[in-house]
Chain A
Protein backbone atom coordinates (compact mmCIF):
# COMPACT_ATOMS: atom_id res chain seq x y z
CA UNK A 1 0.00 0.00 0.00
CA UNK A 2 0.91 3.65 -0.04
CA UNK A 3 3.46 4.72 2.56
CA UNK A 4 5.85 7.48 3.54
CA UNK A 5 9.23 7.06 5.20
CA UNK A 6 11.04 9.97 6.72
CA UNK A 7 14.23 10.27 8.70
CA UNK A 8 14.01 9.82 12.40
CA UNK A 9 14.76 12.65 14.71
CA UNK A 10 15.43 14.61 16.57
CA UNK A 11 17.51 16.68 14.23
CA UNK A 12 19.54 19.15 16.26
CA UNK A 13 21.07 22.16 14.51
CA UNK A 14 22.56 25.50 15.35
CA UNK A 15 20.92 28.64 14.04
CA UNK A 16 21.82 29.43 10.40
CA UNK A 17 22.75 25.81 9.66
CA UNK A 18 21.53 24.03 6.53
CA UNK A 19 18.61 21.67 6.99
CA UNK A 20 17.69 18.53 5.11
CA UNK A 21 14.95 16.17 6.22
CA UNK A 22 14.69 13.13 3.98
CA UNK A 23 11.36 11.76 2.81
CA UNK A 24 10.69 8.89 0.42
CA UNK A 25 7.37 7.43 -0.58
CA UNK A 26 5.75 4.37 -2.09
CA UNK A 27 2.57 4.92 -4.04
CA UNK A 28 0.51 3.64 -6.89
CA UNK A 29 -0.34 6.33 -9.35
CA UNK A 30 0.82 9.91 -9.01
CA UNK A 31 0.07 11.33 -5.60
CA UNK A 32 0.48 14.90 -4.47
CA UNK A 33 3.17 15.37 -1.84
CA UNK A 34 3.10 17.60 1.20
CA UNK A 35 5.13 18.80 4.13
CA UNK A 36 3.16 19.69 7.23
CA UNK A 37 4.62 21.38 10.31
CA UNK A 38 3.46 21.22 13.91
CA UNK A 39 4.82 23.96 16.15
CA UNK A 40 4.79 23.35 19.91
CA UNK A 41 1.26 23.55 21.25
CA UNK A 42 -0.28 24.15 17.83
CA UNK A 43 -2.12 22.13 15.21
CA UNK A 44 -0.74 20.79 11.95
CA UNK A 45 -0.19 23.40 9.27
CA UNK A 46 0.55 22.89 5.61
CA UNK A 47 4.09 24.10 4.92
CA UNK A 48 4.37 23.34 1.20
CA UNK A 49 3.15 20.98 -1.47
CA UNK A 50 3.90 19.68 -4.96
CA UNK A 51 1.32 18.09 -7.22
CA UNK A 52 3.41 16.55 -9.99
CA UNK A 53 6.88 15.32 -10.83
CA UNK A 54 9.63 17.97 -10.87
CA UNK A 55 7.39 20.51 -9.13
CA UNK A 56 9.10 22.46 -6.38
CA UNK A 57 7.08 23.54 -3.38
CA UNK A 58 8.39 26.44 -1.33
CA UNK A 59 7.32 28.51 1.64
CA UNK A 60 9.02 30.43 4.45
CA UNK A 61 12.47 29.60 3.02
CA UNK A 62 11.73 25.86 2.93
CA UNK A 63 11.81 23.95 -0.36
CA UNK A 64 11.09 20.44 -1.54
CA UNK A 65 11.18 18.99 -5.05
CA UNK A 66 8.96 16.12 -6.20
CA UNK A 67 11.42 13.55 -7.58
CA UNK A 68 9.58 10.73 -9.28
CA UNK A 69 12.74 8.87 -10.30
CA UNK A 70 13.90 8.56 -6.69
CA UNK A 71 10.38 8.68 -5.15
CA UNK A 72 11.58 11.41 -2.82
CA UNK A 73 10.44 14.77 -1.48
CA UNK A 74 13.24 15.95 0.76
CA UNK A 75 12.72 19.15 2.76
CA UNK A 76 15.52 21.73 2.74
CA UNK A 77 16.20 25.13 4.19
CA UNK A 78 19.38 27.08 3.71
CA UNK A 79 19.52 28.78 7.10
CA UNK A 80 17.33 27.61 9.98
CA UNK A 81 16.11 29.82 12.80
CA UNK A 82 15.20 28.99 16.38
CA UNK A 83 11.57 29.61 15.43
CA UNK A 84 11.74 26.69 12.97
CA UNK A 85 11.89 24.26 15.89
CA UNK A 86 8.89 22.00 15.33
CA UNK A 87 7.87 18.55 14.15
CA UNK A 88 7.80 18.13 10.36
CA UNK A 89 5.59 15.54 8.65
CA UNK A 90 5.91 14.36 5.07
CA UNK A 91 2.67 13.15 3.52
CA UNK A 92 1.12 11.99 0.28
CA UNK A 93 -2.46 12.12 -0.86
CA UNK A 94 -4.52 9.12 -1.90
CA UNK A 95 -7.78 9.67 -3.71
CA UNK A 96 -10.62 7.95 -1.87
CA UNK A 97 -13.39 9.22 -4.12
CA UNK A 98 -13.84 12.05 -6.59
CA UNK A 99 -12.75 15.23 -4.90
CA UNK A 100 -11.76 13.52 -1.66
CA UNK A 101 -8.28 12.53 -0.63
CA UNK A 102 -6.88 11.03 2.50
CA UNK A 103 -3.37 11.85 3.61
CA UNK A 104 -0.79 9.19 4.40
CA UNK A 105 1.82 10.56 6.79
CA UNK A 106 5.33 9.71 7.80
CA UNK A 107 6.15 9.41 11.48
CA UNK A 108 7.40 12.98 11.77
CA UNK A 109 10.84 14.46 12.38
CA UNK A 110 11.46 16.75 15.32
CA UNK A 111 13.77 19.67 14.56
CA UNK A 112 15.49 21.47 17.40
CA UNK A 113 17.37 24.66 16.55
CA UNK A 114 19.61 26.23 19.18
CA UNK A 115 20.82 29.85 19.19
Chain B
Protein backbone atom coordinates (compact mmCIF):
# COMPACT_ATOMS: atom_id res chain seq x y z
CA UNK B 1 0.00 0.00 0.00
CA UNK B 2 0.94 3.65 -0.15
CA UNK B 3 3.43 4.90 2.36
CA UNK B 4 3.82 8.34 3.88
CA UNK B 5 4.24 10.98 1.21
CA UNK B 6 5.60 14.50 1.55
CA UNK B 7 5.67 17.45 -0.77
CA UNK B 8 7.56 19.18 -2.10
CA UNK B 9 10.63 16.98 -2.04
CA UNK B 10 12.86 20.03 -2.34
CA UNK B 11 12.17 23.67 -1.60
CA UNK B 12 14.52 26.59 -2.05
CA UNK B 13 13.26 29.84 -0.64
CA UNK B 14 14.59 33.28 0.11
CA UNK B 15 15.10 34.40 3.66
CA UNK B 16 11.97 36.07 4.99
CA UNK B 17 9.49 34.16 2.84
CA UNK B 18 6.86 31.77 4.21
CA UNK B 19 6.85 28.08 3.28
CA UNK B 20 4.34 25.29 3.63
CA UNK B 21 5.35 21.65 3.84
CA UNK B 22 2.81 18.91 3.37
CA UNK B 23 2.55 15.40 4.76
CA UNK B 24 0.12 12.69 3.69
CA UNK B 25 0.19 9.88 6.27
CA UNK B 26 -0.68 6.24 5.79
CA UNK B 27 -4.45 5.83 5.68
CA UNK B 28 -5.84 4.92 9.08
CA UNK B 29 -2.82 6.12 11.07
CA UNK B 30 -4.11 8.32 13.86
CA UNK B 31 -0.70 9.51 15.01
CA UNK B 32 1.37 11.90 12.92
CA UNK B 33 4.80 13.25 13.85
CA UNK B 34 7.07 15.95 12.44
CA UNK B 35 10.85 15.85 12.84
CA UNK B 36 13.67 18.04 11.59
CA UNK B 37 17.14 16.92 10.55
CA UNK B 38 19.73 19.63 10.28
CA UNK B 39 23.02 18.90 8.59
CA UNK B 40 25.31 16.82 10.79
CA UNK B 41 22.71 16.46 13.51
CA UNK B 42 20.22 13.83 14.55
CA UNK B 43 16.52 14.08 13.97
CA UNK B 44 14.83 16.57 16.25
CA UNK B 45 11.22 16.04 17.30
CA UNK B 46 8.97 19.00 16.52
CA UNK B 47 5.31 18.11 17.13
CA UNK B 48 2.82 15.28 17.06
CA UNK B 49 -0.88 14.99 16.30
CA UNK B 50 -3.53 12.85 17.92
CA UNK B 51 -6.12 12.96 15.17
CA UNK B 52 -6.42 16.68 14.40
CA UNK B 53 -5.17 17.82 17.78
CA UNK B 54 -1.60 18.74 18.72
CA UNK B 55 -1.48 18.47 22.53
CA UNK B 56 2.08 19.74 22.93
CA UNK B 57 3.67 22.35 20.71
CA UNK B 58 6.72 22.97 22.89
CA UNK B 59 9.03 21.16 20.45
CA UNK B 60 8.47 23.74 17.74
CA UNK B 61 11.69 25.83 17.49
CA UNK B 62 10.00 29.22 17.50
CA UNK B 63 6.66 30.94 17.06
CA UNK B 64 7.42 31.19 13.34
CA UNK B 65 6.60 27.48 13.14
CA UNK B 66 3.05 26.18 13.14
CA UNK B 67 1.37 22.98 12.09
CA UNK B 68 -2.12 21.78 11.52
CA UNK B 69 -3.87 18.60 10.54
CA UNK B 70 -7.29 18.35 8.98
CA UNK B 71 -9.68 15.44 8.60
CA UNK B 72 -7.35 13.24 10.62
CA UNK B 73 -5.20 12.96 7.53
CA UNK B 74 -3.05 15.55 5.76
CA UNK B 75 -0.82 17.79 7.84
CA UNK B 76 0.94 20.99 6.91
CA UNK B 77 3.94 22.50 8.64
CA UNK B 78 4.24 26.22 8.01
CA UNK B 79 7.35 28.26 8.60
CA UNK B 80 6.88 32.02 8.47
CA UNK B 81 9.63 34.52 7.75
CA UNK B 82 12.15 31.76 7.08
CA UNK B 83 15.70 32.10 8.36
CA UNK B 84 18.85 30.38 7.18
CA UNK B 85 18.92 28.23 10.32
CA UNK B 86 15.61 26.72 9.20
CA UNK B 87 17.45 24.93 6.39
CA UNK B 88 17.02 21.23 7.08
CA UNK B 89 15.24 18.09 5.97
CA UNK B 90 11.75 17.99 7.46
CA UNK B 91 10.47 14.48 8.01
CA UNK B 92 6.97 13.33 8.71
CA UNK B 93 6.01 9.98 10.22
CA UNK B 94 2.75 8.26 11.03
CA UNK B 95 1.75 5.30 13.13
CA UNK B 96 -1.16 3.36 14.50
CA UNK B 97 -2.18 4.06 18.07
CA UNK B 98 -3.09 1.49 20.67
CA UNK B 99 -2.49 1.82 24.38
CA UNK B 100 0.24 -0.25 25.93
CA UNK B 101 2.15 -0.90 22.74
CA UNK B 102 5.11 0.32 20.78
CA UNK B 103 4.12 1.00 17.23
CA UNK B 104 6.44 1.55 14.36
CA UNK B 105 6.59 5.03 12.99
CA UNK B 106 6.64 5.01 9.20
CA UNK B 107 8.63 7.86 7.74
CA UNK B 108 8.11 9.83 4.57
CA UNK B 109 11.00 10.72 2.24
CA UNK B 110 11.27 14.20 3.67
CA UNK B 111 11.27 17.74 2.32
CA UNK B 112 14.68 19.34 1.94
CA UNK B 113 14.32 23.04 2.71
CA UNK B 114 17.07 25.43 1.74
CA UNK B 115 16.81 29.06 2.82
CA UNK B 116 19.10 31.38 0.86
Is there contact, CB below 8 Å, between A43 and B42?
no
A80 to chain B, nearest CB (A): 23
Give every chain A residue within 8 A of B3 (Cβ-Cβ). Answer: 43
Q: In chain A between 75 and 108, which residues have their CB closer than 8 angstroms to a CB of chain B?
A: 89, 91, 93, 96-108
Is there contact, CB below 8 Å, between B45 and A43?
no
Q: How many residues of B contact A (CB 8 A)?
A: 31
**A93–B102 CA distance with the chains assembled, in angstroms:** 9
Interface positions of B (Cβ within 8 A of A)? 3-4, 31, 33, 35, 40-45, 48, 50, 55-56, 59, 91, 93, 97-105, 107-110
A45 at the interface (CB under 8 A from B): yes
Residue A44 contacts which of B31, B56, B101, B107 (CB distance < 8 angstroms)? B107
**Nearest CB in chain B to that of A97: its residue:** B55
A42 at the interface (CB under 8 A from B): yes
Give every chain B residue within 8 A of A51 (Cβ-Cβ). Answer: 102
Is there contact, CB below 8 Å, between A100 and B97?
yes
Between A and B, 25 residue pairs with Cβ closer than 8 Å are: A4-B42, A43-B4, A43-B91, A43-B109, A44-B43, A44-B91, A49-B102, A49-B104, A51-B102, A96-B48, A96-B55, A96-B56, A97-B50, A97-B56, A98-B99, A99-B99, A100-B31, A100-B50, A100-B97, A101-B102, A102-B45, A103-B35, A103-B43, A105-B35, A108-B42
Is there contact, CB below 8 Å, between B33 and A102?
yes
B73 to chain A, nearest CB (A): 17
B115 to chain A, nearest CB (A): 22
Q: Please provide the 6 A-B residue pairs with the shortest distance between their CB atoms, ordered closest to farther.
A: A44-B107, A105-B42, A105-B43, A99-B97, A43-B109, A107-B42
